Amino acid sequence: MHPLLQPSDLPYQLPRFADFGDDDFGPAIDEGMAAQLAAVAEITANPEPASFDNTLVPLERSGEGLSRVLRIFSNKASADTNEAIDELRATYAPRLAAHSDAITLDPALYERLLAVHDQRDRLDPEARYLVERYVVEFTLAGAALGEDDKARLRKLNEQVSAQETAFEITLQADSNDLAVVIDDESDLAGLTSGEISAAAAAAASRGLEGKWLLTLVLPTPHPHLAALTDRDVRRRLSEAQRARGSRGGAHDTRQIALDILRLRAERAQLLGFANHAELVTKDNTAGTPAAVREMLARLAAPAARNARLEQEALSANAGFPVEAHDWAYYAEQVRSAEYDVDLAALRPWFEAERVLQDGVFFAANRLYGLTFTERTDLDGYHPDVRVFEVRQDDAPVGLYLLDLYTRDSKRGGAWMSSFVSQSELLGVDTAVVFNNLNVPKPAPGEATLLTYDETRTLFHEFGHALHGLLARATYPRFAGTAVFRDFVEYPSQVNEMWMLWPEVLANYAVHHETGEPIPAEVVERIEASATFNEGFKTSEYLAAALLDLAWHELGPDQVPADPADVLRFEADALAAVGLDNPAVPTRYSTPYFAHSMSSGYASAYYSYIWSEVLDADTVKWFEESGGLTRANGDLYRKYVIGIGGTKDPLASYAEWRGRAAPIEPLLERRGLV
């Protein structure tokens, strides 16, 4: 057996990253796929009547090795890719889609699942829910189709997978190409010394000695736009952000996006749905696209209204009508004038190591009894990666890996995933999870000072990490963060609340040079300005969520054929909901909408605000119940992050709170009351 398919002998099964190279992935994936298909064939060849023990249990065990290598490969492709890895991704995307179809479209396996489903009332609750989930997922994947339709479905799945991979690779290449080169350091006025040195290091890494390079981030707004004083540099940076994937040539993603949308729509109709949005929401907590659109529409009008009022205030301050590249800069000017709060000036209090150790880890210790010890004897997959051992009340929980800094080989954005997930069936009691962020890396010896938003992002992504570390499940299918897409953001959003929680903030927010705590009056002013600029933030997010939905509500014949029509469709879709303000561009435009086109959030970008209904209600509960206490953490873990995917999450939430979550706390938080 290939070493990549086997459990590592390192603590907590941390992969031995140094022991394998790029050439190892292909053979390991091939062997893993073959082994899983052999295991499935053994299940379907069993002459005994189908039972949970002879069907579901071996099915859950199958693919253990393949899953192990794919987790490592997926992270390599996202966090430290190269040309060879990109070629492997393009080669294996359709093969892996075909492999998945060989299992989900196997008629003998589906027949056995249905037979066990008929007997499910004899099973314990988690086993019964597992059978129910398998039948739903296999049915929605096409298991009940006739053979001719299955053949067409297999082809569509391979094509979709190949195009999604092509979109991500092409977007990454264009993002690297469009990074803004600065010739004169004075053009970077407004940035910190650490940010300027990071730009110099980025330029040097590309052989541009004596210059500075502003690398791009995934969403439309760039954090530097709030600080750069030179309006022309802001314009250049903003235009580069918005040009990705739409310039023509080899790195244009528009035709790929249209192909993806058409293929998804055709597949949805083959499966009996009007469009891809219907297919996706059917197996999420939302249920239907109409439910999603109803909620988003309820928020869009007041958000757009608030954004227009904000725009008037910013323009009055600037002395001219602000444009998209001006918004963040003048928002900070107005925030400072009205609330005496300058978020950019807070960076000296958000030194990365203090935020991590005395903020993020501290809150987790108070809530869950977790401790974090750095393991310098264990290596990550890149020199920048740090490894921490996690224990709870001195019992082992797993490992947490942090990959903080940006680099050309890492895709944009921030995310969490796992190398190892806990599973009682597989005899795995601990987990190995990791967070990836894209913070500019300063020169050696300089402090890493996080922006306000980067600090919030670290708390957010660590919420996902806690979910992956603390969930407990019997079966691999339910391990860690394996929950509905429009629920998974809820625990991460809740964890953001601890960033400004008084006890936590007082523990980490000290000036990195003087050691002085962040002034109490500054914190009060931050809280007083909580809804400032929320019209912009809510509008740009809703624009992206509604755009994602609009594209995926199209049938295959409705998807435009000409790439030149992509931005026209986008403009019309946003105008239809009143979110077409040029000064408030959508958070993601179609040509660089990786969430929608390549990373699993197709028809589900609404998930963030859908989950925020639960998040806002939960924050109220913590505030009313004593906040940062172990008792509260244990209760929240019991009903939310500790259950993994073993239960219906909304039913568990209602069991905990005695009701469904109301929307009012969300409206209040976003200034939409």
d(CA 5, CA 61): 13
Tokens of 129: 């829910």
Pairing of strands 395-405, 431-439: parallel
d(CA 524, CA 537): 21
Cβ partners under 8 Å of residue 474, min gap 6: 126, 127, 423, 424, 425, 646
Cβ partners under 8 Å of residue 238, min gap 6: 222, 225, 324, 325
d(CA 318, CA 327): 10
Residues 518, 489: contact at Cβ < 8 Å? no
Tokens of 372: 């974090």
Would residue 446 show up in a list of annotated catalytic residues for this protein? no
Pairing of strands 386-392, 395-405: antiparallel
- Among candidate residues 310, 351, 461, 489, the one labeled active-site is 461
- SS3 assignment, position 552: helix
Query: If you search the block for the tokens 């006739």, which residue do you land on?
Result: 146
Phi, psi of 377 (to 5 degrees): -85, -10
Within its chain, how far is the Cα of 465 from the centroid? 12
Residues 570, 526: contact at Cβ < 8 Å? no
d(CA 587, CA 73): 29
Residues 20, 37: contact at Cβ < 8 Å? no
Active-site residues: which are they?
Answer: 461
